[in-house]
Chain A
């Protein structure tokens, strides 16, 4: 938002606050708000939340979690105790900032302050629970000092009050109870992946996490932990430390996608195992993934949010390590009911849900068959008949990875055994897959295999499936094209060149100055 617009919104807020509110005046104003709120709602909100506020708009069937059903007056993100209604400020915050990790965007930049305030008034008319209610926010203290000791105590709390039952030992939302969770509307829901705080519905700051612990997320399986403090089983400070620990599971800032994945050159053998210590020396690149919604059957609830990629080469071979969070090691029959529910919940008019089966987890790393010379690349979604793509396909529970050629989303052909040279090793550990692919830069099958070269941008894309979430076939998560760059060998000239260049620059500069001075002196004319 620009400074001017921000100031404008601030002015509107001030203007709104300045309106005098006597009792009958307040009633009149509330009625005006409701009428204005309805107009805003019908235009911007009803598509998802439905005309009657029941969370059943035309677009709702494409979303999981579903849009809020306002008629039940169950709000996840509140400052009030579990079971209580949200305050106006709570509802306004959700409208302003949206709900991360869901389809709900923030509206602060699109709707005026008056419109948003009117919307709050209108949303409350969907439930009789709001009539005459004055929800009181809980009083929260501020966070105590953080640091290692706070995080250590927080981890003790995490263990002692059973967070791992749903959120898992490493916090990736892979606890033993997560496969069978439903929200209050009966739709499947998973425990939050606590290592991705930028996707927390209630916000990712320590204060937000603490608030969620105190209030719970009503309508979901996440309970309030306030009773622990009220009954002195835990101190308030310990709960804050738990929030600080949870915050520490995510990076300081959300990962950002970069265009180029750089494969550093190293000497000697490459790390072929996912947990080889040599990977610590390779920079990590984040590749975000989204649901495949271009071709039928579309998929709006992709489970894998992104892949963390590292790559190294030694002039002969390339090793590429892909790691991603996945709540289950598929195939896993314990998740069949979950997959069935997800598929049923997302059965759009364009796709009859298939019968859920214990599908594997899969990852595809995709390249063009040849390094393009210009800007042209094959179609990112698995190429086309005219321009096929070269793929590495790994799946869990199988023998490893294979090389193949795709000529479209569902036109994939594995290469013959004689042409298979790809190595792959995988580890599943507490909600994370780590897979290392290794291949020689040059292979005999030059017609089908990409021949890797150093110093050239090589298009690369990723696709991922979580079998336990019902992902199979076209129901998957996709990235667009990125680039992989294999660092050039470092000849001695690289170190000499800057010195030569600097010397030349200085020399030429001096020459130019002297020429200029001489010219001025000789002609006697100002420049």
Chain B
């Protein structure tokens, strides 16, 4: 699936996986999310009802449900610290917004993370109507429209939730996932299937890796000082 679209998406995901500003010092957990079994084929998306989106692709765009990288790893996996942090710890909310763009009738990136209260900036780069419906259970859902290119809407989520789903009802194939956490210890795997979570205080952590089709895997890692430890996750084809 070596299309321009995929590469563009992968770059976007790669950028997103840099994650929030890492705290100074502390320990690091890094690793890869591997994929085993036959590589599934994502269905192509028929965008003929939106010529202005269709024109942005040289080959037919595909869904991003399962993106397996050439090195056998899985992209679009949300990896985060599920438990183990001090109960009373507070982490400052980043002042920079996390951006999600609607471009070529696709959400870019497809999976992303924000902190509670951090701004999610929703942009539209397509000259046509998109609606952005957020569906959560811990958080209030909303449904807003962006019928013009250049629109930017900022929203925040008030409670932790993995995941809040975003969808466009005008284009049923468009969906994205936002992980909302009370801390900055999360990452999204990109084109190399790698993740890095920095700045952790000493402790024993349960990490969870979330994938939209394959569900979750967990790993337990103990870190001290400024050491770097690895964690591996494996998802198998179903």
Contact = CB atoms under 8 A, between A and B. Distances in A.
A177 interface: yes
Nearest to A175: B170
A220 B135 CA distance: 11
Interface residues of B, number: 26
Interface in A102-150: 129
A161 interface: yes
Contacts of A226: 144
Interface of chain A, main secondary structure: loop
Contact of A161 (B144, B145, B172): B145
Interface string A151-183: 000000000111001100000000011001100
A222 interface: yes
Contacts of A160: 147
B144 A227 contact: yes
A358 interface: no
Contact of A162 (B129, B135, B142, B152): B129
A231 interface: yes
Nearest to B135: A184
A85 B148 CA distance: 27
Contact of A221 (B137, B142, B169): B169
A83 B166 CA distance: 13
A224 B49 contact: no
A165 B171 CA distance: 9
A228 interface: yes
A427 to B, nearest CB: 24
Contact of B140 (A83, A177, A223): A83
A33 interface: no
B82 interface: no
A177 B167 CA distance: 13
A165 B49 CA distance: 9
Nearest to B153: A227
A40 B29 CA distance: 56
A266 to B, nearest CB: 44
Nearest to A231: B151
A221 B151 contact: no
B143 A221 contact: yes
Contacts of B131: 221, 223
A227 B146 contact: yes
B170 A161 contact: no
Interface of A: 72-74, 82-85, 129, 160-162, 165-166, 176-177, 180-181, 184, 216-228, 231, 233
Interface of B: 49, 128-129, 131-135, 137, 140-148, 151-153, 155, 169-172
List 10 tightest A-B contacts by C-beta distance, closest first. A162-B129, A83-B142, A221-B169, A161-B147, A223-B131, A223-B145, A180-B172, A223-B143, A82-B142, A83-B140
Given A177-B169, A233-B147, A233-B148, 14 more contacts: A73-B140, A74-B141, A83-B142, A85-B140, A129-B140, A161-B148, A162-B128, A177-B172, A184-B141, A221-B131, A223-B132, A225-B147, A227-B144, A228-B147
